[in-house]
Structure 1
Amino acid sequence: MSYEAGTQVSRWRNVVGSMLGWGLDAYDFVAYAFVAPVIAQVFFSQLGRLGSMLATLAAFSVSLAVRPLGGVFFGNLADKVGRRYVLYMTMLGAGLSSFLMGFLPTYAQAGLVAIALLIILRFAVGFFLGGEYSSSGVMAVESVTKWRGLASGIMQAGFDIGIFGVTFTYTLVATYLPENAMYTIGWRIVFWSGIVTTIIGWLFRRRFLTEAPEWEVAEKVRSPYRTLFTKYWLPVITILLATMGFLYEYYVMLELSPFVLQNVLNYSSALAGLILTVLSASDAIGSIFGGVLVDWFRSSARALLATALIIIALIYPTMYAILILSNGWLVLLWDFIAVLPVGVLQVYIRDLLPPSVRATGAGLSYNGGTWLAAWAAIITTLMAGASTRPEPWLTAITINMIWSSILIVISSMIAIALIKRARRE
């Protein structure tokens, strides 16, 4: 193998190593989303149907709301000492925190202590996964010189490895264990099984990760924080708008699709699990397709704009077919259009921020979007009144998907202007 070919293989290994971190991210969050009805019963049943559902979603939101803290902490570290060292720590920390979820006592066993421990572990998971995104995404697009959009889409498709793993596990548990076992050992198995993803990902990173070439040759700054906020505050806000819009509409889909299938359409746990297992394929295709749009348009900003317009155009007919026509399999289309922007975002961040502050900026701006996304499912649920009828959900989901996509449109327009101005200068 020639030196150049060997270098290219090494660089694409970085993409794969980054991708595996998103497998862990998906495994934990989707595991929580799938067993949310169980969490509501074993931790919050004393609050009633609506109260228990909202409390369960609020506990989930802790993991999202704390991610910017982890993103800024580990992002600053990654800009100073390199991306790969940070990626060792974040994968191990997030994986162990998620694994420990399976050992939690229930409210019946430990009362308020059980809820406190649940919140602590959700905090830990969010903190480490916030650090994961600060480095894994930029590592992928900084490592390749061609097809950055494809690299971004493939890296993000790692999320779907996690989705497939957890939906496969959940389907097996729901199919072969008695129904009531989901409330005793079943939900614990779903969290425990995620340790496999952690071990595989961490060993791969230790064996194959090399430092991102673009970061190695870049000029370093003493204080990435100060440089970011004094020179690049507008790009940070621009990225923040995009991530707020994307993560909001995506978490509406991710958190509520199991509820729509099981509680609104009355699908069995096994059938819902099957659909959500197949969903991992549509998610991967959508992510990669979004990344390919970057290479096709030769502009991350224009590609991101295109993805937002697709969502706005297709969301109402898609949700009408799912909810009113009772076609649960079209959740796959809902997922496909919802995930399109994520394949673009890594290159979008790279195009707007220099390497010396990129991880700090990515950690803050991308994870900062979770501050809004953390409330996506809660707001949508309140608008629908936690109804078991489809009509309130059609209105609530459509409105929330459209307005969040408008944030992506606004961000894209600002980015196009910023990039044009930078080229003139």
Structure 2
Amino acid sequence: MHSSANTTTGELATNDGKALSAVAFSCFGWAFDLFDLFILLYVAPVLAKVFFPSTSPMLSLTGVYAAFTATLLMRPVGAIIFGPYADRRGRRKAMIIAAIGVGLATAAMGALPTIEQIGIAAPLLFIALRLTQGIFMGGMVASTHTIGTESISPRWRGLTSGIITGGGSGLGKLLASAIFLLTSWCFPGAAFEAWGWRFMFFSGLLSSALGLLIFLKLHESPMWEGQRLLDETQKRSSAPSAPLKTLLRGGFLGTVAASVVLTFAGGGMSYLTSGYLPVFLRIVNGIPRTTVASILLLSALSVIISSVLAGLLTDLIGRKKAIVIYGVCSTLILPSMYLVLGHVSSILVAAAITIVLSGVGTFCYAPLLIILNERFPTRLRSTGTSVSWNVGFSAGGALPVLVSFLSKQALDLPSILAVTTCLIGLIYLITASLSQETGGEMN
């Protein structure tokens, strides 16, 4: 256990109320971000018909996931814009701007005409909005992934990481699943393909409104405030004039590279489980849409619980030992579960496997936030964390496209996913084994 383990249980970096609020707001911020992302995954089969029709259902689905990947590819751009902004102007301001932008871009997708109405312009406009959304999503990481851990006691930063990243992801999935379930009830059958998917996107306005109300009450990170006061006393800028250049040339290049690979693998496993299961259950298992929504609600709870426990374990036994264990579990469990799920006819058994897949799929993902945070100093933390996270997740988020492209038919999905998750798990395990212990004080 690292040296900060001697900190008393109730000790916080700031007073209890402000610290817990910062963690909660970071969690909600990440949840709203992923809520907008999960919406597309839940309506992917419909969007394949609306924007990317073809003679091959799997090819159409590949088009939808390509649009999904377009968002991820712009996340590093958001990191380059918002990371330095958060380091210079504060985490809170960056979070407010990014949250509003994500919600508005999502809602605009629901107002787009279909390919039958305006032809090729429809998918092009859809992709343009996905690109715009990606910039703001990249910006969310700069604040949600720093302000919470900078506000809490060193003893509980791993737990905080699990709450924000995995818990926020699970909460975002839970909200999206609830909206999906409600919309499926209100727009059954063909009505969902005509109007339901639009209302799914319109719910992005709700996330923007709620995000604005929440984040206006958020206190700034005490570590960032302390660094700002120190810089003012020493009469220097609160962040380097070129944070990205400083990051890449200031001895952090190797750190960024290792962080990107670890994030790619951890994020990839999350996308190939929580992100891909909505489609898998529909087109492989043939489970009705409303039943899928109910199963995903339960799997979201599994994500929240497993993420919090996975983050806490890194506080108890150390970051490196924990993530090596997670890498082993993921490499062994995820491929076998997908192979079994592909041949399941019972809805109850499929639900149980989905819950396990979702929980295990978040093991490697949950502690990434604190592992990245502890590798960068306060003056560069938002830039370093957001660049590493967004580049890694952009690559990991492309894996569903690869899986869909390699699968000529729906029956190919179980074996393709089994091979892919096994390989990604091995990459994570090797990278984790070569990593240094990061548990300790953040400076």
Q: TM-score range by the shorter chain?
A: over 0.9
Is the Cα–Cα contact under 8 Å of residues 33 and 254 in structure 1 kept in the other structure? no
Offset at 1:347? Answer: 1.1
> 1:78 — aligned with what?
86
Task: Verify the 8 A CA contact 1:286 1:336 in the aligned structure 2.
Answer: yes
Change (3 A) 1:35 1:249: same
Larger mean Cα displacement after TM superposition, 367-376 or 58-67: 367-376
Q: Deviation at 1:410? A: 2.8
Are positions 1:210 and 2:219 aligned together? Answer: yes
Are the equivalent residues in 2 in contact too, given 1:137–1:346 (CA < 8 A)? yes
Distance between the aligned counterparts of 1:313 and 1:292, measured in 2? 22
Name the % identity.
25
* Residues in 1 aligned to 2:123 and 2:20: alpha-carbon distance in whole angstroms: 42
Structure 2: runs of 5+ lacking an equivalent: 1-10, 232-237
Whether 1:332 aligns to 2:355 is: yes
Q: Residue type of the partner of 1:172?
A: L
Secondary structure in structure 2 of the residue aligned to 1:15: helix
- Is 2:363 the counterpart of 1:353? no
Per-residue deviation at 1:237? 0.9
Which residue of 137, 142, 149 maps to 1:141?
A: 149
Q: Does the 8 A contact of 2:58 with 2:405 survive in 1?
A: no
Match of 1:313 in 2: 332
Give the residue type in structure 1 aligned to 2:273.
M
How many Å apart are 1:4 and its aligned residue? Answer: 8.1
CA contact (8 A) 1:244 1:407 kept: no
Per-residue deviation at 1:106?
Answer: 0.7
Q: Aligned AA for 1:144?
A: I
The 5 A counterparts of 1:53-68 are: 53-68=61-76
Give the conservation status (yes or no) of the 8 Å contact 1:69–1:127: yes
The letter for the 2-side match of 1:328 is A
Pairwise CA distance, 1:306: 1.8
Q: Residue 26 in 1 paired to residue 34 in 2?
A: yes
Per the normalisation by structure 2, the TM-score is 0.89
Q: Return the alpha-carbon distance in structure 2 between the equivalents of residues 405 and 176 of structure 1.
A: 40
- Matches for 1:165-244 after TM superposition, within 5 Å: 165-207=175-217, 209-218=218-227, 220-222=238-240, 223-230=242-249, 231-244=251-264
- Is the counterpart of residue 408 in structure 1 residue 400 in structure 2? no
Report the CA distance shift for 1:36/1:4 in structure 2 as closer, same or farther (over 3 A): closer
- 1:205 is displaced (CA, Å) by 0.8
> In structure 1, what is the equivalent of residue 287 of structure 2?
267
Amino acid at match of 2:402: I
What SS is found at the alignment partner of 1:141?
A: coil
C-alpha contact 1:290 1:342 (8 A) present in aligned 2: no
Q: For the structure 1 residues 117 and 382, does the alpha-carbon distance in structure 2 shift closer, same or farther, using more than 3 Å as the test?
A: closer
Backbone CA RMSD of aligned residues: 2.2
Report the equivalent of 1:115: 123
Q: Which is further off, 213-222 or 239-248?
A: 213-222
Compute the displacement of 1:216 (Å).
2.3
Is structure 2 residue 35 aligned with structure 1 residue 16?
A: no
What is the aligned partner in structure 2 of residue 293 from structure 1? 313
Moved beyond 4 Å, runs of 4+: 3-6
Identify the range of structure 1 (307-316 vs 9-18) with the bigger mean alpha-carbon deviation. Answer: 307-316
- In the alignment, the residues of structure 1 paired with residue 105 and residue 66 of structure 2 have an alpha-carbon distance, to the nearest angstrom, of 18
**Deviation (angstroms), 1:78:** 0.9
Task: Report the TM-score when normalising by structure 1.
Answer: 0.92
Q: Is the 8 A contact 1:174 1:269 kept in 2?
A: yes
Q: In the alignment, residue 370 of structure 1 is paired with which amino acid?
A: F
Question: Any idea what the Cα deviations from partners look like across 1:298-349, whole Å, max 9, x if unmatched?
Answer: x223222221111012123322332223432111110101111222111101
Say whether the 8 Å CA contact 1:91–1:202 is kept in structure 2.
yes
Shift of 1:350: 1.8
Distance (Å, rounded) in 2 between the aligned partners of 1:60 and 1:155: 23
Structure with the bigger percentage of helix: 1
Name the counterpart of 1:161: 171
Give 1:406 deviation, angstroms: 2.0
Change (3 A) 1:33 1:257: same
Alpha carbons 2:338, 2:415 under 8 Å: kept: no
Residue identity matched to 2:59: G
- Contact 1:249–1:400 (8 Å) recurs in 2: no
Structure-1 separation of matches of 2:96 and 2:53: 38
User: What is residue 7 of structure 2 aligned with on the other side?
Assistant: none
Indicate yes or no: 2:388 matched with 1:365: yes
State the shift of 1:6 in Å.
7.9
